[in-house]
């Protein structure tokens, strides 16, 4: 997820199938019931209330939680994480050898096995795979998309994920479906779209990143962008999303053309098993905008797409990779570090989310290398199915429901390859002081901001929704807009040094939370 539209604009994200909703999978480890620890926590809670002002916010009563001071060990964590980092070589194998890790693909299973073996070899007490079920799997096949009229040329294009192929070349005129309501649609298009390639959304304004806009031009561009979003915002009664796709399908269209939404012919890939079985072809933004301009001036536009994808209409097992360093005093209380292992398949899933995977694996290696056992268990989870709607983390939360009350905190990395620059408090503004104290012990990795805001769109959400203090770190952007979900999401654009810093910060925070004298009282989700 990013402050950008990236990860959370996929409106079919939440539509999980009955199979997934039925929680098919079972976790392999026994779960704990309600223990005495909670009673103790409540008593301490009453003792330590303090009123501390928060940046740009009303003063919030802070929990006066004090991490156990352990400067020598923190120094070892920093040294291990920064001077002995293995981020670069881990990236090289994950991206250049294993490559794109689309949910449901053999490459993802290979990555599950490899990451488990790596964390075991790095000294985690144990590592295993936890299964969950994907309703249908999909494999991208060859795709050739050409403009036939008014000019002939091959277009940069790719199928939206989980959409079918065209069963050979599908040639059709392009039609701009500009109606909003079902009634308007019926009046203007019913019975007139057979074999057509349709466009339903205006091209998004895109600026050339190589030509930075001066302030007046930036202001003009931003207002155009706002107008674009306002124009596509659904109104009550509008025919949108899956319903519209199903309606178009019933009209026998060849398929839907969608905007790649990035400059430089890059595509923002998306899609999920909830997609209706209708070809959807993502054109590079520059071609999508050209087609729209041609239609607007009354030119006839004709497209041919020849796409061969594979859809398997039966549930397929998928896996989350899990590893842990068992706690010495409260082994059933858990601090969780996570990132999604799956990726889109146009690049090699480098910044989304190879960087998060490498950081979590490095954090495991760093903590194991200290050779000191934490009081609570520190667990490392590499989720799958994130890009299709947080499927793996939702399955994890469902299958470990009875254990969630015993998770001290869950921390995710999923905003690219940049260094950690801060923490969004996700509604637990009463924990700002704790975060300040935990980050103050690693000044060499800072500076850090602690912000009273919430971030969505990634694997922390199933935990947050269950009342667990759950975070998605704020990171340096490092051109994430350029890489995420696109053909350019490759090793060339990773920053191993930044990922080493992120791993170090995650390890230091996890250590302090695992050794915190008290279990953090639950807030109200
Ligand atoms: Zn991601």
In the predicted structure, residue 96 carries a pLDDT above the cut 70? yes
Question: Residue 422 has what pLDDT?
Answer: 98
Ligand 1 centroid, distance to 414 Cα (angstroms): 5
Q: What is the pLDDT of residues 181-204, one digit of tens each?
A: 999 999 999 999 999 999 999 999
Query: Is the peptide bond prior to 125 cis by the omega test (within 30 degrees of 0)?
Result: no
The span from the CA of 161 to the CA of 269, in Å, is 7
In the predicted structure, residue 55 carries a pLDDT above the cut 90? no
User: Shortest CA distance to 85 belongs to which of 408, 359, 447?
Assistant: 359
Lowest mean pLDDT among 13-22, 95-104, 303-312, 401-410: 13-22
Ligand 1 centroid, distance to 381 Cα (angstroms): 14
In the predicted structure, residue 72 carries a pLDDT above the cut 80? yes
Q: Which residues pair with 128 in a beta bridge?
A: 322
Q: What is the pLDDT of residues 145-172, one digit of tens each?
A: 999 999 999 999 999 999 999 999 999 9
User: How sure is the predictor about 275, in pLDDT bands with cuts at 50, 70 and 90?
Assistant: confident
Ligand 1 centroid, distance to 386 Cα (angstroms): 7
Dump the DSSP string for 212-268. PPPHHHHHHHHHHHHHHHHHHS--TT---HHHHHHHHHHTT-SEEEEE-BSSTT-B-
In the predicted structure, residue 216 carries a pLDDT above the cut 50? yes
Question: Residue 37 has what pLDDT?
Answer: 42
Question: Residue 1 has what pLDDT?
Answer: 46
Question: Residue 58 has what pLDDT?
Answer: 54
Q: What is the pLDDT of residues 441-472, one digit of tens each?
A: 999 999 999 999 999 999 999 999 999 999 99
Q: Encoding tokens for residue 163?
A: 């959409």
Ligand 1 centroid, distance to 175 Cα (angstroms): 33
User: Shortest CA distance to 491 belongs to which of 107, 95, 156?
Assistant: 95
Given phi > 0 = left and psi -120 to 50 = alpha, else beta, which region is 443?
alpha
pLDDT, greater one: 380 or 8: 380
Ligand 1 centroid, distance to 20 Cα (angstroms): 20
CA dihedral 382, 384, 388, 389 (to 10 degrees): -50
Ligand 1 centroid, distance to 177 Cα (angstroms): 31
Angle at 397 between CA 316 and CA 381, to 5 degrees: 75
> What percentage of the chain reaches a pLDDT higher than 90?
85
Ligand 1 centroid, distance to 32 Cα (angstroms): 31
In the predicted structure, residue 43 carries a pLDDT above the cut 80? no
Residue 79 CB coordination number (10 Å): 14
Ligand 1 centroid, distance to 26 Cα (angstroms): 25
Quick check: helix, strand or coil at residue 331? strand
Ligand 1 centroid, distance to 201 Cα (angstroms): 24
Ligand 1 centroid, distance to 193 Cα (angstroms): 36
Ligand 1 centroid, distance to 408 Cα (angstroms): 23
Contacts of residue 488, defined as CB under 8 A and 6 or more positions apart, other chains included, come to: 266, 347, 482
The pLDDT of 308-331, averaged and rounded, is 97
User: How sure is the predictor about 310, in pLDDT bands with cuts at 50, 70 and 90?
Assistant: very high
Ligand 1 centroid, distance to 484 Cα (angstroms): 8
Report the half-sphere exposure of 246 (CA within 13 A, side-chain side): 9
- pTM to 2 decimals? 0.88
User: How sure is the predictor about 69, in pLDDT bands with cuts at 50, 70 and 90?
Assistant: confident
């Amino acid at each position: 997820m990013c402050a950008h539209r990236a990860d959370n604009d996929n409106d079919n994200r939440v539509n999980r199938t009955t199979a997934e909703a039925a929680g098919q999978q079972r976790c392999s480890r026994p779960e704990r019931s309600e223990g005495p620890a909670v009673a103790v926590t409540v008593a301490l809670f009453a003792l330590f209330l303090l009123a501390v002002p928060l940046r740009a916010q009303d003063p919030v009563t802070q929990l006066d939680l004090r991490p156990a001071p352990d400067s020598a060990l923190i120094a070892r964590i920093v040294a291990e994480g920064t001077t002995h980092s293995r981020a670069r070589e881990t990236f090289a194998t994950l991206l250049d050898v294993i490559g794109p890790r689309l949910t449901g693909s053999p490459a993802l299973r290979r990555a599950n096995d490899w990451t488990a073996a790596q964390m075991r070899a790095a000294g985690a007490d144990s590592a295993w795979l936890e299964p969950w079920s994907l309703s249908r799997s999909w494999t991208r096949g060859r795709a050739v998309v050409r403009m036939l009229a008014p000019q002939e040329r091959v277009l940069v294009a790719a199928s939206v994920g989980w959409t079918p192929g065209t069963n050979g070349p599908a040639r059709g005129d392009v039609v701009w479906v500009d109606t909003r309501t079902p009634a308007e649609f019926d009046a203007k298009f019913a019975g007139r779209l057979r074999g057509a390639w349709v466009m339903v959304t205006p091209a998004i304004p895109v600026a050339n990143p190589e030509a930075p806009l001066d302030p007046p031009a930036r202001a003009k561009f931003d207002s155009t962008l706002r107008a674009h979003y306002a124009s596509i915002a659904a109104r009550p009664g509008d025919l949108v999303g899956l319903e519209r796709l199903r309606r178009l399908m019933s009209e026998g269209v060849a398929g839907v053309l969608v905007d790649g939404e990035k400059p430089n012919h890059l595509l923002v890939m998306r899609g999920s098993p909830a997609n209706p079985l209708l070809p959807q072809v993502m054109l590079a933004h520059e071609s999508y905008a050209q087609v729209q301009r041609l239609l607007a001036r009354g030119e006839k536009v004709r497209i041919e797409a020849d796409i061969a994808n594979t859809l398997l209409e039966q549930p397929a097992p998928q896996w989350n990779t899990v590893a842990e360093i068992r706690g010495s005093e409260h082994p059933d209380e858990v601090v969780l570090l996570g990132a999604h292992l799956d990726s889109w398949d146009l690049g090699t899933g480098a910044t989304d989310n190879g960087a998060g995977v490498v950081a979590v694996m490095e954090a495991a290696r760093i903590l194991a290398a200290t050779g000191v056992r934490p009081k609570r268990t520190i667990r490392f989870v590499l989720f799958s199915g994130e890009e299709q709607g947080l499927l793996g983390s939702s399955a994890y939360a469902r299958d470990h429901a009875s254990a969630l009350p015993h998770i001290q905190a869950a921390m995710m990395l999923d905003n690219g390859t940049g260094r950690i620059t801060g923490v969004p408090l996700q509604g637990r503004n009463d924990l700002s002081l704790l975060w300040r104290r935990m980050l103050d012990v690693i000044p060499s990795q800072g500076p850090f901001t602690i912000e009273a805001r919430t971030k969505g769109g990634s694997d922390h959400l199933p935990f947050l929704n269950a009342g667990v203090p759950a975070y998605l770190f704020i990171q340096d952007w490092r051109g994430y807009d350029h890489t995420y979900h696109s053909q350019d999401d490759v090793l060339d654009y990773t920053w191993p040094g930044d990922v080493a810093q992120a791993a170090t910060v995650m390890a230091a925070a996890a250590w302090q939370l695992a050794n915190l004298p008290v279990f953090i009282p639950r807030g109200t989700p």
